[in-house]
Structure 1
């Protein structure tokens, strides 16, 4: 009897130990490591003026999954390609929510924006419309003549500056080109004069919106302060968006009047979306239409402009890269000839330059913040419901464990690489990945090489100032996008 009691007691003890072990293992699911938060402010003081850099340095201490407390907001930072792949591919659905910055809530923009609205049936419908009528291969092919025309206008403007000995503000010139391209796709009209700075209202509005969105906002750290808007960021953003939406309203009403009069139907996006709206007035109303226009104009102009300016800056910093690129262009295209999009696949060194630019200067250093709507397990850590998740693309592009000499601009590193930028190779994801990947990347991947290659194949370039090229200021200005802190100005001469 004593024997069976002992056996039974042993089995019971083992069962209890098993249960305790299970409970204990569940208890080990904890937050990822990170710096100890201060009272009230948490870890805000560690962000600095360049959060992408500060967070990359902290990741070297705490690892590729790091937790911080930014005011009231629990934030997780992903800083390696393997962890980014887990979040953006394998667990993409878990991390597909959006944390909407306070500035974006202005004018209810976030409610209708494809970039910022939550994934839902309406979001899927709106994204499908944009993909079908703006960024599908068929539509991009059909609009190729517009891109070609706008690039030719850019070259004509640069030629005028060359003749008159005036410096070219590379970012400004690229911005006008991209703005006019997008506005012609949407409205069949130019919004900027490539030869004049007189009409700068629209440019100022767009840059004003981007500047406000990129500012650190107390509301984003302390949602309890949302009603107060202490910094005035939402108020100023509302003013900018209101001005822009009034301009859109004028163009929409003008087109509706033309349609009522039976004018010749245009083939632009405005005409298309108004036709769709007539069939589905509840689903595609004017609020959605104006938010879609804002998504397109801001997204397509700012990121492409910054990439072209960064590429030219890196090329001017290392003149031998310019010589190699111009030699390739002369051999394959012919010196001074126009570049067509069909030529891009043959310009391998130019493609290397663009990949290297996007590696070092990704358009959005921290891809738009994601969130989780329920507790999610990620590599033995728990991501609590409502947490913000940031993927530091800037840090991934400079990861010393993958990239040799990551701080050196070296296009040749891509010579023998078939690495893709379309969200499949997670060491290079300048446009993000997964279902919330930047929807405009197909347009960007056509425009950037065409603009950059045309500039290099039409002129020689040198810095406006007399400083040695190696001392060119490459300071970054952190925001929603990563801009050059000081505009790049260059003097042109004939090839």
Structure 2
């Protein structure tokens, strides 16, 4: 983080001499009295210095701001006028009452480069193209039926992980690292099918591309200064990595086209699905669109699921009584079968409650992907100008003590007799967002969380290494792109309870 801070303040100092920004700031000040309240702002940089000084965990800094300035507040992030909402009531205004007004997306430079000029699902501007791709995702690509079709892949990949853990029983293993590598392997097979010639190269370059793309970029806060995109060197690095990923994606698509594919619909990988939809002619999909969506699947489908499993295991290890209850349930449900079977997952009520509670306290993206107002509007008497960026702090909302008793405590039981679900109808609980821009990959992600957790609970007992006590487990956070992981990898000792 120190290098990022140095880069940030050096860039900031450079920008201070740019007179062009002064005129833009002056022009925007005339409407400031109609905006929501917010922390004091400096000329030119606005509130950027306060975010940087507050530390790397931006969602916590913003929570502190909202306690002082209210549930809806204004931040000036360089040139980017931003509204932050931090309560279920204001989130409902943005994602339901005026959902259509806030249905578009901000366009960070990295997203434009990585996702073929923002033609993926996550960052595509609201319009006919986005509606078309959303429909393809919901009904073809990531439907419940499609997610179920990957059941055998999940069983194969996660059972392989369980066998690895069994072979290292009694010794410490890096569960965090194992989860991410296994989730990446599963996502690769689901997305592009069988192992291809340059798969390891593809995964390595793609991981680097996503890592670089998630880094701090001062140009995103001054989008009107086009040359600023190039002096940092980030643009050229992203373009070079993306060019290599693009070449490898072309190889994958060409391989799929070249094969005389008699694959049944229920055994298609995601490239097969997109090519079939393209050939059907009902939607206008280009090769670049296909590549953008596949990259979306890798970016969203790997890190968030692995991180959620990691947090769930950490919370259960820190709360042994919850771990025992979850183990008892899983072993009772699968005891007669002697193996974990997805057909019985509906009976795992307590495990599902553990997952819900994990996502309440640790939403994969504490700040939901930023929305963009499509027109001037009004929230709670405040004027929100056209093209204002809107951030929803899902992390703060999930810890709102008005809705959650003992909000900072991990209590899976709170969800056992609760009607609250993931579908975006309860605005005190929005780990996947809500409204039109709600995450379309929710079912895909949840299936990849339930399966490994059920395996871990059924087959193994768990100990922390070096005599560490459960209350000593470090739960500190760190950002990895838009996702917040545990700062320290989780090293644990698996002990076989049921043979793998």
C-alpha distance after superposition, 1:253-286 (max 9, x if no partner): 1222223xx7767732222322333454992111
Which is worse superposed, 440-449 or 57-66?
440-449
Point out where structure 1 has 5 or more consecutive residues left out of the alignment: 1-26, 193-198
C-alpha distance after superposition, 1:296-328 (max 9, x if no partner): 111111110110011111111222221111111
Q: Which residue of 1 aligns with 2:183?
A: 178
Q: 1:466 to 1:233 in 2, by over 3 A?
A: farther
Q: Confirm or deny that 1:154 pairs with 2:161.
A: yes
The CA deviation at 1:125 is: 1.6
C-alpha distance after superposition, 1:53-82 (max 9, x if no partner): 000011001111011111111110010011
Given that 1:105 and 1:234 are in contact with CA atoms closer than 8 Å, whether structure 2 keeps it comes out as no
Q: Confirm or deny that 1:133 pairs with 2:140.
A: yes
Given that 2:141 and 2:274 are in contact with CA atoms closer than 8 Å, whether structure 1 keeps it comes out as no
Give the one of 21, 35, 38 matched to 2:42. Answer: 38
Aligned equivalents of 1:484 and 1:318: distance in 2?
Answer: 16
Point out where structure 2 has 5 or more consecutive residues left out of the alignment: 1-30
The CA deviation at 1:185 is: 2.3
Aligned equivalents of 1:357 and 1:102: distance in 2?
Answer: 32
Aligned equivalents of 1:139 and 1:484: distance in 2?
Answer: 31
Count of aligned pairs between the two proteins: 460
Which is worse superposed, 414-423 or 331-340?
331-340
Q: Confirm or deny that 1:64 pairs with 2:71.
A: yes
Root mean square deviation of aligned Cα: 2.5
Aligned equivalents of 1:446 and 1:100: distance in 2?
Answer: 30
SS at match of 1:288: helix
Q: 1:485 to 1:402 in 2, by over 3 A?
A: same
Which is worse superposed, 328-337 or 389-398?
328-337
SS at match of 1:425: coil
Given that 1:106 and 1:235 are in contact with CA atoms closer than 8 Å, whether structure 2 keeps it comes out as no
Given that 2:111 and 2:118 are in contact with CA atoms closer than 8 Å, whether structure 1 keeps it comes out as no
Aligned equivalents of 1:174 and 1:32: distance in 2?
Answer: 42
Given that 2:191 and 2:269 are in contact with CA atoms closer than 8 Å, whether structure 1 keeps it comes out as yes
Given that 1:397 and 1:427 are in contact with CA atoms closer than 8 Å, whether structure 2 keeps it comes out as yes
Given that 2:366 and 2:395 are in contact with CA atoms closer than 8 Å, whether structure 1 keeps it comes out as yes
Aligned equivalents of 1:407 and 1:306: distance in 2?
Answer: 19
Q: Which residue of 1 aligns with 2:409?
A: 408
SS at match of 1:223: coil
What are the equivalent positions in structure 2 for 1:233-382 lying under 5 Å apart?
233-259=234-260, 267-280=268-281, 283-334=284-335, 337-382=338-383
Aligned equivalents of 1:205 and 1:473: distance in 2?
Answer: 31
The CA deviation at 1:378 is: 1.1
Given that 1:326 and 1:457 are in contact with CA atoms closer than 8 Å, whether structure 2 keeps it comes out as yes
Q: 1:277 to 1:157 in 2, by over 3 A?
A: same
Q: Which residue of 1 aligns with 2:450?
A: 449
Given that 1:360 and 1:398 are in contact with CA atoms closer than 8 Å, whether structure 2 keeps it comes out as yes
Aligned equivalents of 1:213 and 1:232: distance in 2?
Answer: 12
Given that 1:34 and 1:68 are in contact with CA atoms closer than 8 Å, whether structure 2 keeps it comes out as yes
The CA deviation at 1:419 is: 1.1
Q: Which residue of 1 aligns with 2:216?
A: 216
Given that 1:329 and 1:335 are in contact with CA atoms closer than 8 Å, whether structure 2 keeps it comes out as no
Q: Confirm or deny that 1:169 pairs with 2:174.
A: yes
What are the equivalent positions in structure 2 for 1:48-127 lying under 5 Å apart?
48-106=55-113, 109-127=116-134
What are the equivalent positions in structure 2 for 1:225-236 lying under 5 Å apart?
225-229=225-229, 230-236=231-237
Aligned equivalents of 2:206 and 2:482: distance in 1?
Answer: 13
Given that 2:141 and 2:273 are in contact with CA atoms closer than 8 Å, whether structure 1 keeps it comes out as no
Aligned equivalents of 1:215 and 1:188: distance in 2?
Answer: 30
Aligned equivalents of 1:249 and 1:414: distance in 2?
Answer: 45
C-alpha distance after superposition, 1:210-251 (max 9, x if no partner): 433433321111113443334333333333333322221111
Given that 2:96 and 2:435 are in contact with CA atoms closer than 8 Å, whether structure 1 keeps it comes out as yes
Which is worse superposed, 263-272 or 313-322?
263-272
C-alpha distance after superposition, 1:359-395 (max 9, x if no partner): 1110111100001122111111111111110000010
Aligned equivalents of 2:410 and 2:123: distance in 1?
Answer: 33
Q: TM-score, normalised by structure 2?
A: 0.86
SS at match of 1:40: coil
Aligned equivalents of 2:89 and 2:438: distance in 1?
Answer: 17
The CA deviation at 1:414 is: 1.7
